[in-house]
Chain A
Amino acid sequence: MIKLSNINKSFAQHQVLDELELELKIGDRIALIGQNGAGKTTLIRTLLGQYTAEGQLSMFGLNPRQQRIEVLQKIGFVPQHSPPIQMSVGELVDFSAALSLTPMKDEVYALAGKLEFDIEEQAGKPFFKLSGGMKQKLLIALALSKRPEFLIMDEPAANLDPAGRKAFFDELSLLPQNTTMLLSSHRVDELLPFINRIIEMDCGRIVHDQQLADEIKAGKSLDCKIQITGEGEAIRKTLDSWKFSNGSNPGLYSGKLAEADRTKFFIEIAQFSKQIKELKMEAE
């Protein structure tokens, strides 16, 4: 459905996407993780046809630069930072609805309502004057109401209150199974129930690409050894919480992991990546 082949993108001689290879299939629900500067936002903007890049990019068999309207009709997008759009809430809904081929206005009102955002009440208010959470709810409602084939969300739940998060995740779970999702988030743990694939980026490359469902179902466990550098009190505490132990070598920790916990483990230790010298995992 979506294929990126040998994609390169650089800004002022700084390589941001480096020979990137990626293929997404219908129904893939992906958590896109990686540190700041890993290339996540650049990848998203390339998929949306907003950046030019070297290499081959095919979205639904189309080129997002040359056939942008056809491609973008199939995509719902929620950006990381809600932009300071001057339009009023009502105008923004009308604007989005006017550009969409499918009638979506009633759906936007209904979805926003489920996310506890009353469009009618706020219709005359400029979008940029809404609170961060309200902006996010409206953008989510606009993206979901298109019934997109491909949903791209960059930190979608970052500004939502607990009730809003719950409503948002409820809506995510109601999406048709054939909806492909790319969700970039720093809190992948809360996305785990909705995803079936996890992709980690670093320095413009995909360094980890894991299909979740099959391995988790198999119930296997893994022998894990991790060599850390420096004092690293925080990483040591994290490893302790995973019941890892260290022997004579104070920097070498070892322990056992359930296959189902592999992703959660990766997510937790990813923040200490600079202190990790070596990581080995072997299936028992």
Chain B
Amino acid sequence: MSTLTLPLMGFQNSFITTVIAEIRESFRAKWFFLYTLIFGGAIVMLLALGITESQVLGFTGLSRLLITYIQLCVAILPVFILITTVRTVVGDRESNVLEYILSLPISLGAYYWGKLTARFIIVFIPVLLALSGAVFWGAVKNLTIPWSIVGYYSLMLASLAWAFLGTGMFISTLVRKQEWALGLAFLVWLTLLLFIDVILIGVLLQNQLMEEVIIGIALLNPLQVFRTGAILLFDPELSLLGPASYVILDNMGYTGFLFYSILYPLGLGWAFSWLGYKIFKTGDLV
């Protein structure tokens, strides 16, 4: 076998092997059970509570259910992804699993990107299943199904999940102790949470900061971008959100912001995961 084809074959082979192994492992993990319970259970709970039949600010039916689900996802999904992902590399390193796995002929790229891909599948499947369950329920109950909203929302969730998976993997390669990784994950999440719209209003009022700075911060915060984009699907005037969202919408337009809310977190996830890979590949592996 030529030395040119061997690494390529090695990458494909070890990438698929890693993805399968990681998915199998995650299915057995307690965090995955809890995660599925929360995101699947949330939909079941919302349906059981009859939320599709209530009406708030003009939203009813499946739209009402989805808007509530969004609030839940903004609050829980990023922190859940962060605290489970930051332990991926550093956890394997601390427990000496990495020493053994990387003594096998596995490409570093295949190991890293295989783990990330598997995590993405694992994180996204329960959310997607929950959404599909809600749509199925809506169909059974003869409710109007907002297909475009479900589609956009799924894309946004995928993009948000990728952003925080990338950030989590970056942190996981950056630190050498799991405690540090968890601490850093919470710090990132709290910082992003601090800079969502409601807090930005306070900053704007108290410090009289330039509007451009506030808008810039809002546009850089994937939580804010997701929140604004998700609400925009239901409320094109953004009457439910704060001033930063309103100004963003004014500048970017409805379609422009919807694209941005999908592409920006996706780009952020790629950037951080790539940085994480660079750190992983160039430093000590164990």
Q: Are A68 and B97 in contact (CB under 8 A)?
A: no
B100 close to chain A: CB less than 8 A? yes
Determine the distance from Cα of A45 to Cα of B7 in the docked complex, in whole angstroms. 21
Q: Hey, what's the 0/1 contact readout for B87-111 against A, CB within 8 Å counting as 1?
A: 0000000011101111111111000
Determine the distance from Cα of A247 to Cα of B10 in the docked complex, in whole angstroms. 66
Q: Hey, what's the 0/1 contact readout for B199-243 against A, CB within 8 Å counting as 1?
A: 000000000000000000000000000000000000000000000
B142 close to chain A: CB less than 8 A? no
Say yes or no: A69-B107 contact (C-beta < 8 A), given A51-B286, A83-B97, A87-B21: yes
Q: Are B286 and A50 in contact (CB under 8 A)?
A: yes
CB-CB under 8 A from A91, the residues of chain B are: 21, 24
Number of interface residues, chain A, beta carbon within 8 A: 30
Q: Hey, what's the 0/1 contact readout for B1-41 against A, CB within 8 Å counting as 1?
A: 10100110010011001000100110011000000000000
CB under 8 Å from chain B, chain A span 91-135: 91, 95-96, 98-101, 126
CB-CB under 8 A from B1, the residues of chain A are: 101
Q: Are B104 and A99 in contact (CB under 8 A)?
A: yes
CB under 8 Å from chain B, chain A span 186-212: none
Minimum C-beta distance from A139 to chain B (A): 8
Q: Are B13 and A98 in contact (CB under 8 A)?
A: yes
CB under 8 Å from chain B, chain A span 58-97: 67-70, 72-73, 75, 77, 79, 81, 83-87, 91, 95-96
Q: Which of B6, B14, B28, B99 contacts A70 (CB 8 A)?
A: B6
Q: Are A95 and B17 in contact (CB under 8 A)?
A: yes
Q: Hey, what's the 0/1 contact readout for B264-286 against A, CB within 8 Å counting as 1?
A: 00000000000000000011111
CB closest residue in chain B, given A81: B96
Minimum C-beta distance from A72 to chain B (A): 4
Q: Which of B7, B25, B100, B284 contacts A83 (CB 8 A)?
A: B100
Q: Which of B10, B28, B284 contacts A86 (CB 8 A)?
A: B28
CB closest residue in chain B, given A96: B104
Minimum C-beta distance from B127 to chain A (A): 23
Determine the distance from Cα of A76 to Cα of B49 in the docked complex, in whole angstroms. 58
CB closest residue in chain A, given B11: A69
CB-CB under 8 A from B283, the residues of chain A are: 52
Q: Which of A45, A67, A69, A87 contacts B99 (CB 8 A)?
A: A45
CB under 8 Å from chain A, chain B span 175-217: none
Q: Which of A48, A67, A73, A96 contacts B102 (CB 8 A)?
A: A48
Minimum C-beta distance from B25 to chain A (A): 5
Q: Are A73 and B286 in contact (CB under 8 A)?
A: no
CB closest residue in chain A, given B285: A50
Residue in B1, B3, B102 with the greatest tally of chain A CB atoms within 10 Å: B102
CB-CB under 8 A from B25, the residues of chain A are: 86-87
Determine the distance from Cα of A96 to Cα of B103 in the docked complex, in whole angstroms. 10
Determine the distance from Cα of A100 to Cα of B14 in the docked complex, in whole angstroms. 10
CB-CB under 8 A from B285, the residues of chain A are: 49-51
Minimum C-beta distance from A162 to chain B (A): 26
Minimum C-beta distance from A37 to chain B (A): 17
Minimum C-beta distance from A60 to chain B (A): 12
Q: Which of A67, A70, A77, A84 contacts B103 (CB 8 A)?
A: A77
Determine the distance from Cα of A86 to Cα of B13 in the docked complex, in whole angstroms. 21
Q: Are A72 and B104 in contact (CB under 8 A)?
A: yes
Q: Are A99 and B95 in contact (CB under 8 A)?
A: no
CB-CB under 8 A from A49, the residues of chain B are: 285
CB closest residue in chain A, given B102: A50
Q: Hey, what's the 0/1 contact readout for A27-56 against B, CB within 8 Å counting as 1?
A: 000000000000000000100111110000
Determine the distance from Cα of A72 to Cα of B100 in the docked complex, in whole angstroms. 12
Say yes or no: A85-B286 contact (C-beta < 8 A), given A68-B108, A72-B105, A98-B17: no
Q: Which of B95, B96, B106, B282 contacts A69 (CB 8 A)?
A: B106
CB-CB under 8 A from B95, the residues of chain A are: 83-84
Minimum C-beta distance from B80 to chain A (A): 19
Say yes or no: A69-B100 contact (C-beta < 8 A), given A83-B95, A91-B21: no
Determine the distance from Cα of A51 to Cα of B96 in the docked complex, in whole angstroms. 14
CB-CB under 8 A from B107, the residues of chain A are: 68-69
Minimum C-beta distance from B2 to chain A (A): 11
CB-CB under 8 A from A79, the residues of chain B are: 96, 99-100, 103
CB closest residue in chain B, given A143: B103
CB-CB under 8 A from B97, the residues of chain A are: 83-85
Q: Hey, what's the 0/1 contact readout for B105-133 against A, CB within 8 Å counting as 1?
A: 11110000000000000000000000000
Contacts A69-B107, A81-B96, A83-B99 aside, 10 further interface pairs with beta carbons under 8 A come to A45-B286, A48-B102, A52-B282, A52-B284, A69-B14, A69-B106, A87-B21, A98-B13, A99-B13, A101-B105
**Residues on B close to A: CB < 8 A?**
1, 3, 6-7, 10, 13-14, 17, 21, 24-25, 28-29, 95-97, 99-108, 282-286
Question: Can you pick out 22 interface pairs between chain A and chain B where the beta carbons lie within 8 Å of each other?
Answer: A50-B103, A50-B284, A51-B285, A51-B286, A52-B283, A67-B7, A69-B10, A70-B6, A70-B7, A72-B105, A79-B99, A79-B100, A83-B99, A85-B97, A86-B25, A87-B24, A95-B17, A98-B14, A99-B13, A99-B106, A100-B104, A100-B105
Q: Which 6 A-B pairs have the closest CB atoms?
A: A72-B105, A77-B103, A69-B10, A83-B97, A83-B96, A50-B285
